[in-house]
Amino acid sequence: MSTKSNPKKSNTPPQEFSELVANLLVSCFRGLKQSLSKDNELTKKLENLEGVVRKGVRISPASGLGKEIEEYFDRQKTEQNFQEEEKEIVKTMVLEVAETIRSMLSSSSGLETNISACVKNIEKAKSIQDILKLKDTFVGEMQKVRDHSQSLNDELEEHRKASTVLAEKLEQSQAQALVDSLTNVLNRAAYNMKIVQLIHEFKRYKEEWALLVLDIDHFKKFNDDYGHRIGDRVLKSVAGTVRNTIRISDQIFRYGGEEFVVVLNRVDVSFATQLAVKICRQVEKDYFVDGDNKLKVTISIGGTIITEDDTELSLFQRADKAMYQAKENGRNQVVMDA
């Protein structure tokens, strides 16, 4: 009696499964490399492994779990960079206080020398007229001491106030994430910290910078017509476009809802306007695709340049008012506060 032999089962996994695993591995490799320096030995090993994987299997753009993995590492990297920057801010503020105290001691010793000289001259004086002349000089030196002490006290008080506010913001940040989980840009908590530092730096170094307030036009319509899932994707799309359009030295924050804030460093009103228009046009150019539908997304931008008398609130209010003016003017445009 003849028997049929069973065909041997293949130990090779299906191509689709191999590609899925390979794509997940590449997403992990990319994320891990972000937290390492380029000359790190582990970075080189990960690059070699990625090369091996790419040779064996076709790698497609990240999606699904792979996309979630990359976004997770992106959030970690963004928060890490921001926290490193804040550490440098604290160091700078401490050094500024130390420099102020050093200046006080140095200047005071100079004044003390002048006063000592006045005392010696008074002791050597031989007439009432000589004493009266030296008296006027002595009074003048004492007035310098009072004026100088008051000036230094005022400066130290400014340092104390700024340091206290920043310390409170830093303490709050330890209890909450600094990156918006949906859009992968810095969130309002990070903005609250950053704005304190920027205002402090402006008052010390006088380098102008601009604040932009961005709002997605007719955002409610996306949620109402297509659902909140599409609304979330629009938010992510706009945040990504803005982040890719601004310079490395600039920063974007999700302020709340469909509103974002951008800080443009070292710009005057003319350059800030150019950059704001560039952002506006790029968002308009990048159609949002949902299946077969191309959904046009636009934003309205209001901006302002920091001034000597600005507070966190006054600065934001001017930019926000300009943004609402852009809305009233027809949306999809930029209005800079003059």
**What is the secondary structure of 148-161 as a DSSP string?**
HHHHHHHHHHHHHH
End-to-end Cα separation, the chain, in angstroms: 99
Taking Cα atoms as reference points, which of 337, 336, 273, 312 lies closest to residue 188?
Answer: 312
Q: What is the pLDDT of residue 67?
A: 75
Q: What is the pLDDT of residue 139?
A: 60
Q: What is the pLDDT of residue 133?
A: 62
Taking Cα atoms as reference points, which of 251, 198, 238 lies closest to residue 79?
Answer: 251
- Whole-structure pTM value: 0.64
Q: Helix or strand or coil: residue 13? A: coil
Rounded Cα distance, 310 and 315, in Å: 6
Q: What is the pLDDT of residue 38?
A: 79
Residues tagged active-site: 258
Q: Which residue numbers in the chain have pLDDT < 50?
A: 1-3
Rounded Cα distance, 111 and 148, in Å: 9
Query: Measured on CA atoms in the order 22, 23, 29, 32, is the torsion positive or negative?
Result: negative
CA dihedral 156, 162, 164, 167 (to 10 degrees): -130
β-bridge pairing 299-305 and 334-336: parallel
Partnered with residue 290 across adjacent β-strands are 293
Q: What is the pLDDT of residue 150?
A: 67
DSSP 293: E
Q: Which residues contact 272 (CB under 8 A, 6 or more apart)?
A: 210, 212, 264, 303, 305, 336
Rounded Cα distance, 135 and 140, in Å: 9
Q: What is the pLDDT of residue 19?
A: 78
Rounded Cα distance, 317 and 323, in Å: 10
Q: What is the pLDDT of residue 149?
A: 65
